[in-house]
């Protein structure tokens, strides 16, 4: 499941992006999700063509990645130490609507620790920090669009939306393509978590299939014996089966 490096001499595809079906997304204004009220657009959205600079670059350098960048169990840990919590592999592919793997995409993830706490200065949740867990990592998709992260399963946490609202366990994903216009953000949930269906953010999504597309499937065949369970999460760009992205309701 490890991804091979994207060949530096490969010419990426360029051209206009596929149009997205906006009905696949929840409405921007969702009062039950309180922070959406002030930041939702008040006027109709405009669709603009991408410029050449947005489509072609500049791009990040692949040589900036370190050996442990995709291993959150160890990339922040002290010598001989490791992060605390249930160990998991998160793997899958980044695909376009044609089912073709998107090679050379930069994937970044960030998450709470096993107790549900982020390493953030303004974090108010009382769960303890893990001194050996930084909560972020990155990798580059292989020639077939594949990726793999090694991490711990994050815990749920309360958030000040309603009197007793909790976020289900989740991992944030950022997908960075070959130009500035190609950064997308989404979240991955875990199969079987009953808190998914109670979350006010998730409940803004009208199509159950879209929610299921944000839920990683447990894959016991890909586990590391006596070490880590595995979850499979494919990210699909465009098309009716496309993954929901928080930052690009108008299209990715």
167 vs 170: CA distance, rounded Å: 8
Catalytic status, residue 62:
no
Residue of 167, 178, 231, 238 marked catalytic: 167
Q: Is 172 assigned a catalytic role? A: yes
Of the residues 117, 170, 178, 238, only one is catalytic, namely 170
C-beta separation of 85 from 113 below 8 A: yes
DSSP letter for 202, please: G
Please pick, among 33, 91, 118, 231, the residue that the annotation labels catalytic.
118
Q: Which of 172, 183, 203, 241 is catalytic?
A: 172
Contacts of 205 (CB under 8 A, 6+ apart): 25, 26, 211, 244
Q: Which listed residue (33, 91, 157, 231) is catalytic?
A: 157
Which two structure tokens, joined as six digits, stand for 209?
A: 């299939």
Q: Please list the residues that pair with 64 across neighbouring strands.
A: none
Whether residue 118 lies in the annotated active site: yes
Cα gap 153→10, rounded to integer Å: 35
Catalytic residues: 118, 157, 167, 170, 172
């Amino acid at each position: 499941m490890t991804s091979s490096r994207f060949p530096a001499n490969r010419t990426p595809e360029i051209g206009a992006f596929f149009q997205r079906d906006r009905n696949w997304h929840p409405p921007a204004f969702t009062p039950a999700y309180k922070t959406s009220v002030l930041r939702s657009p008040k006027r109709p959205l405009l669709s603009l063509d991408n410029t050449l600079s947005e489509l072609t670059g500049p791009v990040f350098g692949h040589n900036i990645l370190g050996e442990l960048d995709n291993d959150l169990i160890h990339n922040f840990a002290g010598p001989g130490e490791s992060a605390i919590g249930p160990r998991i592999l998160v793997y899958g592919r980044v695909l376009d609507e044609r089912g073709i793997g998107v090679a050379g995409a930069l994937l970044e993830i960030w998450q709470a620790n096993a107790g549900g706490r982020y390493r953030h200065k303004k974090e108010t949740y009382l769960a303890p920090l893990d001194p050996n867990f930084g909560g972020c990592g990155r990798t580059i998709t292989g020639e077939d669009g594949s990726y793999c992260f090694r991490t711990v399963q994050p815990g749920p946490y309360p958030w000040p939306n309603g009197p007793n609202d909790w976020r289900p366990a989740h991992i944030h994903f950022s997908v960075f393509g070959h130009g500035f216009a190609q950064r997308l953000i989404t979240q991955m949930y875990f199969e079987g978590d009953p808190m998914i269906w109670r979350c006010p953010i998730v409940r803004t999504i009208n199509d159950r299939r879209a929610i299921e597309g944000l839920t990683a499937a447990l894959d016991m065949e890909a586990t590391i014996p006596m070490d880590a369970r595995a979850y499979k999460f494919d990210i699909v760009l465009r098309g009716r089966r496309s993954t929901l992205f928080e930052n690009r309701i108008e299209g990715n």
